[in-house]
Chains A and B, each alone.
Chain A
Amino acid sequence: MIVTSGLTKRYGTLLVVDDVNLDVREGDRYGFLGPNGSGKTTLVRMLLGLVYATSGTIEVLGRPVPRQISAVLPQIGALVEAPAAYSHLSARANLAMIDAAGRRPPGRRRDRRRRIGDALDRVGLGGINDRPVRKYSLGMRQRLGLAAALLRSPRLLILDEPTNGLDPRGIHEVRTLLTELNAAGTTVFLSSHQLAEVEQLCTRIGVIDRGRLVLQNDLGALHGQTGRVVVRSADADQAAAVLGRRVAEREGNRLVVTDADPAEVNAQLTAAGLRVTEIWPERRSLEELVLSVTTGSSDRFDGADRAARRPAAAQTAASTAGEPAGTGSDAGSSGDVTADSGESAAGR
């Protein structure tokens, strides 16, 4: 659906997007993660033909962008940064205006009213009255923006921070909506700086940091088990003794066991008559992974020289971010994942 190669955008001397090779497949719910100012929005704008690349190529829906942008865009629904609307018009009038603008497939004017109704229903604005958008809350505007994106039943949805300004319930509704749409065949490309949102919705993620794509893989593969087991026991001392050298780490009554199967560890501990409060296979958290490959917010300025900080940053992030376990190996394995996938940005 979206393939970029060597995509680079430079504003003067400032490198905003650096050699990005994006690969979004049909049917994906692709989460495009990155801290603020990492180049997410610029990349999204390039996909939509709003901003032109300095070099590199983009292919969306199999067609080159920006050369055949006019053939591509009718099949895309987009929400770029904040939603926008003519504030003196009502929601329906806004959607009618947007729908009437630009080239459209023939015969779509007749069912405009129905399509607007459908789109509003889907985003939960079905009962909206004719008050002007000026009086809407941020959440309502966000929903209206989504409705505009859905207006033409697009094959590809490109959404930049779609849950901004929504309450938890709204976020949940949007997530459900996007999952439904995806199930019906719409590819969803969602850019966000919120890990949790991406983790709950997406099947595949790409992580951008300071303009570079540092990670791109299926979430399932990234989310894999580490092969370690975490045990919480009231009899932690004895348990540690029973498990012996396999205990990699201990923190209060919480033990991390290497090279183990939870059932087997559980059996061993219960056989020894020890109480097991909780036991689960350790999973790599997305947060760790992301923090390990990114270098920190670009809206933060700590005084240290950025260039000097850069090579060390990955390690620093890894060693401080690893919550319970030996994160050094995590950082290593995430690096492996990236390398294995063979899709992540080069030049790590």
Chain B
Amino acid sequence: MIRVELAKLVRRPRSWVIIALLCLLPIVVAVFVAVTHVAPPPGQGPALLSAVLSNGSLFPAAALAVVLPIFLPVAVAVVAGDAVAGEASSGMLRYLLARPVGRTRLLVAKLITLVTFVLIAVLAVAGTSYITGRLLFGDKPVAVGTTGISTNVIATSLSGTSLTPADVLVRTAGAVTFIAVSMLGVGAIALFLSTLTSSSLAAALGALAALITSGVLVALNSAAAVSPYLPTRYWLAWVDFFRQPILWRQLDQGYAIQGVYVLVFLGAAWANFATKDITS
């Protein structure tokens, strides 16, 4: 079943359109920054964007920062919201279940497909933005302190220390993984809603509403008591990969909270879907 779901994902033109759009936005940002040579000051705007003017190798991380707040979650919500509701509204759900495909198996296959989609999307963004960064901003080594140019230093961490290409690669890989995992919570919510309704749109919008609520509460001081439990609370913690040393605390909590959301909402989806009357 997993193989079938993956084939469906890959053969569906929509998946690739979404990924292409995701890749396009950072390229647009890169072009503007490269042409005007005006980047937001460090610490403001999308993280790390200020650093790319001197060397493009941090641009994959900056590109992820650009798509992370809105575009990526919207894409994930759309794909996850469509997972079951889309099958229901096209009528394929009843034929799949009569095949038979176990309902729990179907859900798990959908989740795995979703994870694959997120990974492909994030890697595609990272890959295209790496090329964009190299082409538009170059990859010349940056000057190091008083000792002059060291060929081995291509970027600076948030803590002001030098990063070698290997450092940048490892940290970017860490950030990509963390961002992909960060999307799982919203994916699980959308998947659950997708089993409630046969409208993909309603499921996707429901998940986005949950995200926006979470975002508002995270920013609200008086909601500080609940903020550690909100799905978007640790989204921006991927920046911690670019500190020296890497601060794992928020990253670990981000992983944990996404795990909890996946467990809870996948469980709810399972409880609802496994005994649901399929009338579509």
Contact = CB atoms under 8 A, between A and B. Distances in A.
B8 A78 contact: no
B101 A100 contact: no
B275 A84 contact: no
A219 interface: no
B8 A97 contact: yes
B275 A102 contact: no
Interface stretch (B38-46, B89-97, B161-169, B172-180): B89-97
A83 B98 CA distance: 13
B278 A45 contact: yes
Interface in B57-93: 90-92
Interface stretch (A49-57, A222-230, A240-248, A305-313): A49-57
A76 B97 CA distance: 12
Interface in A31-52: 42, 45, 48-52
A73 interface: yes
Contacts of B35: none
Contacts of B279: 42, 45, 50-51
Contacts of A103: 100-102
Interface string B6-39: 0110011100000000000000000000000000
Contacts of A83: 91
A84 B4 contact: no
A84 B94 contact: yes
A102 B11 contact: no
B249 interface: no
Given A84-B91, A84-B92, A101-B4, A52 B98 contact: no
B1 A89 contact: no
A297 interface: no
A102 B1 contact: yes
Contacts of A341: none
Contact of A101 (B1, B90, B278): B1
Contact of A89 (B11, B98, B275, B277): B11
A118 B252 CA distance: 55
A124 interface: no
Nearest to B12: A88
A76 B98 contact: yes
A86 B5 CA distance: 12
A73 B99 contact: yes
B100 A69 contact: yes
A93 B8 CA distance: 10
A73 B4 contact: no
B4 A48 contact: no
Contacts of B8: 86, 97
A51 B277 CA distance: 4
Given A88-B11, A101-B4, A73 B92 contact: no
A22 interface: no
A98 B100 contact: no
Contacts of A97: 4, 7-8
Contact of B101 (A76, A84, A87, A102): A102
Contacts, number: 79
A85 interface: yes
B100 A74 contact: yes
A73 B94 contact: no
Contact of B102 (A82, A102, A148): A102
A197 interface: no
B95 A100 contact: no
Nearest to B109: A101
A78 B98 contact: yes
Interface string A140-151: 000000001000
A86 B101 contact: no
B9 to A, nearest CB: 12
A80 B1 contact: no
Contact of A70 (B1, B4, B90, B102): B102
Interface in B230-267: none
A199 interface: no
Interface in A80-127: 80-89, 93, 97-98, 100-103
Contacts of A74: 100
A50 B97 contact: yes
A45 B7 CA distance: 28
Given A86-B8, A97-B7, A101-B1, A50 B277 contact: yes
Contact of A86 (B1, B90, B97, B105): B90
Contacts of B4: 97, 100-101
A137 to B, nearest CB: 17
Among A88, A98, A101: residue with most chain B CB under 10 A: A101
A80 B94 contact: yes
Contact of A84 (B95, B105, B277): B95
Interface string A145-164: 00010000000000000000
B90 to A, nearest CB: 6
A88 B100 CA distance: 23
Contacts of A49: 97-98, 100
28 contacts: A42-B279, A45-B94, A45-B277, A45-B279, A50-B279, A51-B278, A70-B102, A73-B98, A73-B99, A74-B100, A76-B98, A78-B98, A80-B94, A81-B94, A82-B91, A84-B90, A85-B92, A86-B90, A88-B12, A89-B11, A93-B11, A97-B7, A100-B7, A101-B4, A101-B99, A102-B101, A102-B102, A148-B95
Interface of A: 42, 45, 48-52, 69-70, 73-74, 76, 78, 80-89, 93, 97-98, 100-103, 148
Given A84-B94, A102-B1, 9 more contacts: A48-B94, A50-B277, A50-B279, A52-B275, A78-B95, A80-B95, A100-B3, A102-B96, A102-B102
Q: Which 5 A-B pairs have the closest CB atoms?
A: A84-B91, A73-B100, A102-B99, A102-B101, A50-B278
